[in-house]
Each structure stands twice: as structure tokens, then as C-alpha cells.
Chain A
Amino acid sequence: MSKVETTYLPRRPRSPLIWIVAGLVVLIVVNLVKNPAFLSVSLLDGHLYGTPIDIFTQGSRAMLLALGMTLVIATGGVDLSVGSVVAIAGAACAILLRDGHGLFVTIGGAMGLGLLAGSVNGMLVARLGIQPIIATLILMVAGRGIAQLIVGGQVVFIANRNFEYLANGFLFGLPVAPLLVAAFYIAVHFFLRRTASGLFIEAVGDNETASRFAGLAAARVKALVYIFCGLCAGLTGVLAAANVRAGDAYRLGENAELDAIFAVVVGGTALTGGRFSILGSFLGAVLIQTLTITMYNLGVPPAVAPVPKAILIIGVSLLQSEKFRRWAGEILRGRGRALA
């Protein structure tokens, strides 16, 4: 009868979400210590206000980007161009509104540009077989230039009350942007899990050759996730432009791709692809936003705020690494024999 080995760190985390929730709890506690009213939410004029609401409102764009990014990463790829696509879409919104077009045309146009960008990425990766990092790098580099081309190098301001409703308005007492993003998430979740699409994406990411032999059109699946990611980026561009009330080709979507990738990885989806969790990405985005607000509340200068993000990425990567867990487990058991 073999001895049952007890490890202090599980061989496979019961659920990667546990770590995120633990992290969120730690952050909330830190904030409560500094400011006991941190979690308070108040109702004014039928609208809900409060820091937790702010977290969701300000984090809504990152959540939307993380949604698209999750599916791309699940197929084993990555999309570095989302930040630039956000800039392109936002710039397009500003120009379309300035030229007097209606809301439908504006939002449709911006999302259409996102779809186009996604199609380009999808074609490069799936049809031409280019490595995702480099394929999306092309659009990332060129995209900023295209965005600047659209606005002619200027910052174009938006003065359209209906458009700003997307960022400042309330629906059923809750702010519009997070509601919109939540609805998107729920719709996508049902689509992925009630149809075979989620299964196809996981299969392609896990082992593309095997999935092809099993009869999947792997190239088509890959192309479609990039198109969807582009769509998410386009919609995020709309929300971002509404938020700052301008089409700023320089600042819109700055570093957005890094935060999105970060949220996805923290949420438990491995960079190598396969199993994914959009709930994890959602919580990952919430975690980043909470981290940002915590840093702000603790008086850390905003320029230094990336440092805790970096520590978090390293921590999460280590926890996700099989080798690290085995090594740490052995250390904790007092054996001291580290890596082979």
C-alpha cells in the first residue's frame, strides 16, 4: 500500500479562480483598513454610486478587451494589436460624430473597423500561418499610425450627449458601460457553452494537429477568434472615446493590450492555450482595477503603480508553473532538495 503524499501546495489548483478571489479579498482588506467606507455604496437620484461601482465602470473597457483576448489566447495565440484598434475605433467615432453622422452609423463604423482589423489579423495568422506575436505586432505598430491618420494628428473632441450616455449614463440605477459589458459576457458565455464553439476553441488551443485530424476546421476557428477580438476592441474604442469625450489617437488604448493579457493570464487561462475561463478573465480585470485603485488610495505615485502589477504577474506565473509548485512543495516539506 503506497504512502499517500501530502503536499502543501496542490498538484493542480482546485480552481485557478481561488487565487484571484483570495487576491481580491486581500486588496479589499488593505483598503478597508485605510478607509472603512471603501465598500460603501449609496443611492442618489435613483443612481448607485460608490467605489465598488467605480471599479466596474472604469474597468469595463479592460473587461471587454479581456473577453476577446481570452478566446485568442485559448487558441494558443495572442493579439498585441487591441490597443491600437481601440485607438482606431475611437478616432473613427470622433471623426464620424464631428461630421454629423448619427449614433448607429458611428458605433457601427467603429465596430466595423474593429472587425476589419480582426479579419486582417485572422488572415495573417490562420491563412498565412504567421506567428501570432509578429502578425499582431504589425497592426499594433501600423495601427497607431492609422489612428493618427484618421484624426489628422489632432485630438478631435466629441460633444454629443447621446454618445456620452455610453460612459456617463445610468440604466436601472447602474452605469451603462459595465451593464453593457456584463450583457456581452453573458451572451458570449451562453454561445460558447451551449454550442460547440467553446469546445472547438479549447481543442484547437490544446493540440491543433489533433483537432484537425478530429475534423475541426482549425484555421477557421483561429481566424474567427481574431475577428471576435477585433470586434471587442472596436466596441472598447467606442466606450473609451465616450469616456474621455475625444478621439485621441495617442492615448486611447495605451497599454491596453498588456492589461488585457494580464487579466486573462491571472484569470487562469494559460498562454499556451487550451482550457479557458471568461469568468476568470472578468475577475482578472476586476483585480487589476482594484489594484490600481488600491495603489491610488495608498498614495503611490501613478507612475510607480506598474510595479505591483509586475510582482503580481510574476507571482501568478510562478503559481501556474508546475515546476515551481513541485519545488515549493518540496521546500515546504523541509526536504531542501530544490530543482533537479
Chain B
Amino acid sequence: MTSNSVFTGRHLPLLATAAIFALLFGAASWCYEGFFSARVITNLFSDNAFLGIAAVGMTLVIFSGGIDLSVGAVIGFTSIFTATLVMGHRVSPGVAWMLALIIGTGFGAAMGTLIHAFQLPPFLITLAGMFLARGMGFWLNTESVAINHPVYERLSNFDLALGNNVHFSANALFLLATVAVGYAIAHHTRFGRTLFAVGGNQQSALLMGLPVGAAKITVYAVNGFTAALAGIVATFYTGSGNSSLGLGLELDAIAIVVIGGTLLSGGRGHLLGTLLGILIFGTIQAAILFDGRLSSWWMRIVVGGLILVFILLQRFIVQGAARARRL
């Protein structure tokens, strides 16, 4: 009989992640003057907004037991595509964004179809997708293209002020909106439950009569959408389009998802864990910045170490829960 207590195996990884975030933030606030401020906290959302949006889509894919290595390349492609349309062809940003989102979704759907219809390994197909998107982006333009447009000016100056010190930028709001929608999809829709079922045991899900194929193709399409959205938000953040954007971003996104407590094999996890993962990632970056002594490459080492810690934590929790069930 599964207990509804929040301390059972199901939510334990999430709690552990929340604890680690609190610990990290607390330690940084202790060590560095001015770390514990509203500005630092809101910057956690703005600075990594596009990484976070991509991570939300990646979380859904990983729930279903798949993986998508192409998100970084899609971000790069989307940014240069948008910039080229707005600056080179005088297309209105709204139309450019629509087109970019459609292309991103279609791209994801195409990969999902190949993966499901022919039972090809997601790792390889999305790897090919990454090469394709990166190449397409570079074919559009190898240089960075700055975007000068009144809509962009307004967006970069946008500021939602709650009280004196709390200022949310447009990027941060996009991130929060995406997380909210992602949470609703994953935990309050049938589609979300199907994803967990497929990730847990695809064979069982098929035998239960769940629409496995449709779910898999849809989740890759959704991921393509979030990747394109992340690319658009990236253009807000950098004020330009650059096909080199997002190099290696897929790994950071996977790291965030894993740190958030989601099992890479699928079937288990929580979308709010990804939000915590984003916050932890941002905290480490901010801490390194505040320290000033540590060089930027320590970021990579710390992220690698964190992934290890969380993986080990997950293993012990899963093993412990299995042992408890057997008793």
C-alpha cells in the first residue's frame, strides 16, 4: 500500500533537491555580502531563462524515457532565423516568432516520428537533428546579427515591479509561465500521465491501451516548441541572433533535469524539480561571480560534481524504496 506521506520515495528526490538549493543559497549568502537580496533572486530567473525553458521541454521528453540532444542547436537556429527575418526581410517580430515556433514544433515532430515509427534510438536521431539544425543555422548566417526593433526595445525594458526591490524582466516571466504550463501538462493532464507510463514501462503502457505512439511524437513536438521558444527568449536576452548560441546547452539542460530529481531512464520525477534545478544552476553561477576568485571553469566541475551527487542520491532512494516495499 503506497503511503500518501510526502516523505515516501516518490517525492523524496524533490525534497532532497529543495534542501540542497536551500543549503547552497544559504551558504552563498553567508559567504558573500549582498548575495541574499531580491535582485540576486530575480536574476536567477532572468539570466538562465532560455536554458530553463529548454529544460522544461527536456523534462517532459525524459519523463517519457527519451532524450533530445538537438535543443541547443534549435535555439541557435531559431535565434538567427528570427534575426534574419526581422532585420533582413523586414518581417514583423510577431510573424517571425510564429514561423520559428512552427518550424521548431515541426522539427521536433519529425524527429519523434522517426524515433517512434522505425524504433530508432532517440540518442542518434536527435544527435542527427542537432547537426542538421546547427548546419541550417550556420547556412543562414555564420555571423551574429543584432536586432534593432521597437518591439525588442520595449521587451528589454519591460519590468514587472512588485514592491520596491523585486523586478521581474520579460525573460523571467516567460520562464515562470513555461514552468507553470509544463507543470500543468505533466501532473494534471492525461497526456502527462501517459508520458510517465511510457517512460516507466513502454510495453506495459502499450498493453494498457495508452496511445504510446501519439504521446511520443507529441512530446518531441512539444520539446521542439519549447526549444524554439527558448531561442526567441535568447534573442531578447542577447539582443541579437547568433547561430552559435546554445552550443552545449543540451547538456546543461539534461544536468538541470537530473539535478531536479528526474530519473534519466524515465517514468519518475517532478517538473518543479526542474525549476529547482534551474535555481541551483543559477545560484552556482552567481556564487562564482560573487566570489571573483574562482575561474569560470569551476562552474563545469561543480555542475559535474552535483550531477554525480544527485545520481547517487537517486540510486540509494530508489533502492531503499524497493527494499522497503519488499519487507
A interface vs B, CB < 8 Å? 78, 124, 128-131, 133-135, 137-146, 148-149, 153, 249, 258, 261-262, 265, 271-272, 301, 303-307, 309-311, 313-314, 317-318, 321-324, 327, 339
| Set of chain A residues within 8 Å of B136, measured between Cβ atoms | 307
* Cβ–Cβ contact B297 & A310, under 8 A: no
* Cβ–Cβ contact B142 & A271, under 8 A: no
| Set of chain B residues within 8 Å of A146, measured between Cβ atoms | 301
Q: Given A137-B307, A141-B304: A304 and B312 within 8 A (CB)?
A: no
Most chain A CB inside 10 Å of its own CB: which residue of B127, B136, B251: B127
Choose from B120, B121, B129 the contact partner of A310 (Cβ within 8 Å).
Answer: B129
B119 at the interface (CB under 8 A from A): yes
Choose from B128, B134, B138, B264 the contact partner of A314 (Cβ within 8 Å).
Answer: B128
| Set of chain A residues within 8 Å of B251, measured between Cβ atoms | 137, 140-141
Q: Name 11 extra pairs, CB < 8 A, besides A137-B254, A324-B118.
A: A130-B312, A137-B251, A140-B304, A141-B304, A142-B303, A142-B305, A258-B127, A307-B132, A307-B139, A309-B128, A318-B114
* Cβ–Cβ contact B131 & A310, under 8 A: yes
Q: In the bound complex, what is the Cα–Cα distance between A261 and B301 (angstroms)?
A: 24
A-B residue pairs in contact (CB < 8 Å), sample of 12:
A128-B315, A138-B311, A141-B251, A148-B297, A271-B121, A303-B135, A303-B138, A307-B132, A307-B136, A310-B130, A310-B132, A322-B119
Q: What residue in chain B is nearest A326 (Cβ atoms)? A: B118
Q: What residue in chain B is nearest A322 (Cβ atoms)? A: B119
Choose from B120, B123, B132, B138 the contact partner of A301 (Cβ within 8 Å).
Answer: B138
* Cβ–Cβ contact A131 & B127, under 8 A: no
Q: What residue in chain A is nearest B137 (Cβ atoms)? A: A303
Q: What residue in chain B is nearest A142 (Cβ atoms)? A: B304
Closest Cβ of chain A to B271, distance in Å, is 19
B299 at the interface (CB under 8 A from A): yes
Q: Given A128-B312, A133-B67, A142-B301: A313 and B128 within 8 A (CB)?
A: yes
* Cβ–Cβ contact B304 & A145, under 8 A: yes
Closest Cβ of chain B to A302, distance in Å, is 9
Q: What residue in chain A is nearest B133 (Cβ atoms)? A: A310
B180 at the interface (CB under 8 A from A): no
B300 at the interface (CB under 8 A from A): yes
Q: What residue in chain A is nearest B123 (Cβ atoms)? A: A271
Q: Given A303-B135, A310-B131, A310-B132: A144 and B120 within 8 A (CB)?
A: no
B125 at the interface (CB under 8 A from A): yes
Q: What residue in chain B is nearest A320 (Cβ atoms)? A: B120
* Cβ–Cβ contact B134 & A306, under 8 A: yes
B308 at the interface (CB under 8 A from A): yes
* Cβ–Cβ contact A153 & B134, under 8 A: no
| Set of chain A residues within 8 Å of B258, measured between Cβ atoms | 134
B255 at the interface (CB under 8 A from A): yes
B298 at the interface (CB under 8 A from A): yes
